[in-house]
Amino acid sequence: VEAPDQTRGDIALIDRIVARDPSAVGELYDRHNRLLYGLILRILRDRSEADEVLQDVFVLVWTRAETYNAALGAPVAWLVRLARNRAIDRLRANSARLRAVESAVLLPARGDNPESRARQSEQQQTVARALDELPNDQRELIEEAYFLGLTQSELSARHQLPLGTVKTRMRAGLQALRQKLSKTSIQRVASFPVREP
């Protein structure tokens, strides 16, 4: 859970970036690079591509910090959104998409390796555990939508399920996930308005 102190600190850094202080980008990077890189790597499964996307994200932060809107959530949520959208755009744009979709079938559903698992914070473990506890058919749909950027129709074709079933399962899965996470202290981890750059 991101403490209010950390959110305040992040907002102060964004203000400095808007005021054209480049060292604030370095500080913001130091705070969040591992979370964002874990997410981007999970999506792209290629370290050098993930490095590039992470770089893009922070150059974007430098050029577009004034578009951050505190009313829509904490800075970390904005960063997560930028990173996820950039990574999915990249995945869609290149042949890595096919590769990732194929390897997702072969690899364990949780893409992280023992190296990262060992270093997971309590919060990450909570999220991972909650996902683990979901019925497989619900968890797969949610993970493939979020980490592979597959649309409903793509999910329906991939799993040979009627579109209605995809929608219902996804919804049931999200509701179950919310229930599991609301029992723990995880709340407002990252407010997540969809779409925009």
Phi and psi at residue 164, to the nearest 5°: -60, -40
Taking 3-state DSSP, the helix, strand and coil percentages for the chain, each rounded to the nearest 5, stand at 75, 0, 25
The residue among 71 and 106 lying less far from other proteins, judged by its C-beta, is 71
Query: For residues 143 and 112, is the Cβ–Cβ distance under 8 A?
Result: no
| 14 binds other proteins per the rule CB under 8 A | no
Q: What is the largest CA-CA distance in the chain?
A: 52
| 128 binds other proteins per the rule CB under 8 A | yes
Question: Residue from 7, 12, 51, 161 that binds other proteins (CB under 8 A)?
Answer: 51
| 91 binds other proteins per the rule CB under 8 A | no
| 121 binds other proteins per the rule CB under 8 A | yes
| 123 binds other proteins per the rule CB under 8 A | yes
Question: Residue from 5, 19, 160, 195 that binds other proteins (CB under 8 A)?
Answer: 195
DSSP state of 135: -
| 119 binds other proteins per the rule CB under 8 A | yes
Site stretch for other proteins (CB under 8 A), options 8-16, 100-108, 184-192: 184-192
The region that residue 68 occupies, defined by phi over 0 for left and psi between -120 and 50 for alpha, beta otherwise, is beta
Give residues 15-44 in contact with other proteins (rule: CB under 8 A). 20, 22, 25-26, 29-30, 33-39, 41-42
Run of H or E residues at 31: helix 22-44
| 152 binds other proteins per the rule CB under 8 A | yes
| 94 binds other proteins per the rule CB under 8 A | no
Query: For residues 40 and 87, is the Cβ–Cβ distance under 8 A?
Result: yes
